[in-house]
Copies of this chain bind each other. A is one copy, B any other.
Amino acid sequence: MRLEDVAKLSGVSTITVSRVINAPHLVKPATREKVERALEELNYVQNPVARALASNKIGIIAVYIPATIDLTNPFVMHFVAGISEVLSKHVYSFLIRRELDNEHLCDGYIATGLLKDEVRQIYQYTHERNRPLVLFGHTDHPDIDCIDVDNTAGAQKVTQLLLDNGHRHIAMINVDEDKDYTVDRAMGFRLALEQAGIDPSTCPQIVAENDANGGYGAMRRILAEYPLCTGVFCATDTLAIGAANALVKTGKKIPADISLVGFDGLGHDLLVRPNVTTVHQPVYEIGMRLAETLISRLNGSSHRVKELVPPELILRESVASIQA
């Protein structure tokens, strides 16, 4: 079943059939109807591969998420969902790539979760293939559009909240990976402390695997080793949930005994008690923006996008003032 068959049946050339499908306004209504009847009769289904080869457009965006990142992570899910919403409006599909092999059946790339070296690597990959790349994260590279959450500002803001509530003995539980976001959140933590005149080196930073167990263990360590502690900043909500579990288990009250703040705000709040005060990263929206950015690039835009989105403080129930 090819255009040619339809063309024969309706007595026109293949290109006219192609026009009826892709640009009907270029075809006289009478001809169009004739062709449409033939399309209907033969139950014509287009071959998108052939179209992609001829037109050099395939209608697919690749979302590159390194295989090291768990796809069931809520961060990833929200990101992907945001991308999906935009792309489906523009009649693009998307595929999820877990490694950079030979395939590149796509018009452009969206990437996330990369280390600095990996950014260089994927840029080379996409550049060789002459495809645009947009990034969730930040990079100085002038050819890469990128949007990132301002992790430093967010961490600073939420630490500041603890300070504003009179806390002076504050600990941080960070993720045990050397990624930009962990470094930046630690930096925000330190900045807030310094501005409040507190020596950051007096405030312990524990690292743990980014799951509830990790947060649990880290909190136990803080309780054991830092009894003065009244406030804890967890670099992710997942860690905060584990930390909260540890507090409940050991009979500590949140926030009466210990105030707890997290970072992410991806909907755990519905699931957990008490709801943890946190910083919301608009991951879904960033996914949307990146998808839009990539599509404008594909449509010929040359507008460079470099954004740093300030995350938003979400006040909930896990912070209390210290009585002076």
Complex: chain B residue closest to A61, CB-CB: B95
Asked if A213 is at the interface of the complex by the 8 Å CB criterion, the answer is yes
* Stretch binding the partner chain, chosen from A4-12, A68-76, A112-120: A68-76
Are A81 and B71 in touch, CB under 8 angstroms? yes
Are A67 and B88 in touch, CB under 8 angstroms? yes
Interface string of A264-299 (1 = CB under 8 A from B): 000110111100000000001000000000000000
- A97→B92 CA distance, assembly (Å): 9
A57-111, CB < 8 A from B:
58-60, 62, 67, 70-74, 76-78, 80-81, 84, 88, 91, 93-99, 101-105
Asked if A26 is at the interface of the complex by the 8 Å CB criterion, the answer is no
Interface string of A219-258 (1 = CB under 8 A from B): 0000000000000000000100110010010000000000
| Interface size class, chain A | 35 or more
> What chain B residues lie within 8 Å of A129 (beta carbons)?
45
- A96→B92 CA distance, assembly (Å): 10
Asked if A212 is at the interface of the complex by the 8 Å CB criterion, the answer is yes
Question: Which interface residue of A70, A76, A95, A102 has the most chain B CB atoms within 10 A?
Answer: A95
A-B pairs with beta carbons under 8 Å apart, 22 shown: A45-B102, A45-B129, A48-B105, A49-B53, A59-B103, A59-B105, A60-B105, A71-B84, A72-B74, A77-B77, A84-B98, A93-B97, A94-B95, A94-B96, A95-B95, A105-B105, A211-B270, A213-B270, A238-B271, A241-B270, A242-B270, A271-B272
Enumerate chain A interface residues (CB-CB to B < 8 A): 43, 45-50, 52-53, 58-60, 62, 67, 70-74, 76-78, 80-81, 84, 88, 91, 93-99, 101-105, 128-129, 211-213, 238, 241-242, 245, 248, 267-268, 270-273, 284
Closest 3 CB pairs of A and B: A95-B95, A212-B270, A71-B81
